Structure 1
Amino acid sequence: MKYVLEIDNVSKFFHGLVAIDDLTIKVKPGQIYGIIGPNGAGKTTLFNCVTGIYTPEQGTIKYKGEDITGMQPHKIAQKGVLRTFQNIRLFSDMSVAENIMAGYHTKSKQKWYHAIFHTPAYKKDEKAAWKKVEELMEFFNLTHLATNPTGDLSYGNQRKVEMARALAANPELLILDEPAAGLNENETIELTEIIRKISQMDIGIMMIEHDMEMVMSLTDYITVINFGKEISQGEPNFVQNDPRVIEAYIGSDDDEEDE
Structure 2
Amino acid sequence: MKYVLEIENVSKLFFGLVAIDNLTIKVKPGQIYGIIGPNGAGKTTLFNCVTGIYKPEKGTIKYKGEDITGMSSYKIAQKGVLRTFQNIRLFKEMSVAENIMAGCHTKSKQKWYHSIIHTPFYKKDNEASWKTVEELMEFFNLTKFALTPVGDLSYGNQRKVEMARALAAKPELLILDEPAAGLNENETIELTNIILKIKEMGLGIMMIEHDMDMVMKLTDYITVINFGKEISQGIPSFVQDDPRVIEAYIGSDDDEDEE
Q: TM-score range by the shorter chain?
A: over 0.9
Equivalences for residues 44-123 of structure 1 within 5 A: 44-123=44-123
Q: CA deviation at 1:112?
A: 1.3
Structure 1 counterpart of 2:143 = 143
TM-score normalised to the size of structure 2? 1.00
Equivalent-residue separation in structure 2 for 1:180 and 1:220 (angstroms): 18
Tell me by how many angstroms 1:98 deviates: 0.2
SS at match of 2:113: helix
- Amino acid in structure 2 at the alignment position of 1:72: S
| Matched residue SS, 2:225 | strand
Alignment of 1:17 onto 2:17: yes
Aligned partner letter, 2:143? T
Distance 2:199 2:28 in 1: 10
Q: State the match for 1:229 in structure 2.
A: 229
Deviations 1:154-207 (A, max 9, x none): 000000000000000000000000000000000000000000110110100000
Where in structure 2 are the equivalents of 1:27-46 lying within 5 Å?
27-46=27-46
SS at match of 1:107: coil
Question: 2 CA distance for matches of 1:89 and 1:109?
Answer: 24
Deviation, 1:111, is 1.0
CA distance in 1, matches of 2:71, 2:111: 23
Hey, what's the Cα distance between the residues in 2 that align with 1:60 and 1:200? 28
- Name the counterpart of 1:183: 183
SS in structure 2 of the partner of residue 12 of structure 1: strand
Give secondary structure in 2 for the equivalent of 1:181. coil
Task: Return the TM-score normalized by structure 1.
Answer: 1.00
Runs of 4+ in 1 over 3 A off after TM superposition: none
Distance 2:94 2:30 in 1: 31
Q: How far is 1:54 from its partner?
A: 0.3
User: Structure 1, unaligned stretches of length 5 or more?
Assistant: none
Tell me the SS of whatever aligns to 1:9. strand
Aligned residue pair count: 259
The 2-side partners of 1:215 and 1:203 are apart by 17
CA distance in 1, matches of 2:112, 2:155: 33
Give, in whole Å, the separation in 2 of the partners of 1:107 and 1:187: 30
Partner Cα distance (1:248, 1:216) in 2: 17
1:161 equivalenced with 2:153 (yes/no): no
SS of the residue 1:30 aligns to = coil
Residue number in structure 2 paired with 1:248: 248
Q: Given residue 39 of structure 1, which amino acid in structure 2 is its aligned partner?
A: N
**Which position in structure 1 is the counterpart of 2:200?**
200
Give me the identity figure in percent: 85
Partner of 1:112, secondary structure, is coil
Letter in 1 for 2:225: I
Q: Which amino acid aligns with 1:241?
A: D
**Residue type of the partner of 2:53?**
I
- Matched with 1:3 is 3
Q: Supply the AA of the counterpart residue of 2:42.
A: G
Deviations 1:67-125 (A, max 9, x none): 00000000000000000000000000000000000000011010111001000000000
Whole-Å separation in 1 of the counterparts to 2:105 and 2:201: 21
TM-align CA RMSD: 0.3
How far does the alpha carbon of each residue in 1:216-250 deviate from its partner, in whole angstroms, 9 at most, with x for none?
01100000000000000000000000000000000
Match of 1:219 in 2: 219
What runs of 5+ residues in structure 2 fail to find an aligned partner? none
How many Å apart are 1:25 and its aligned residue? 0.2
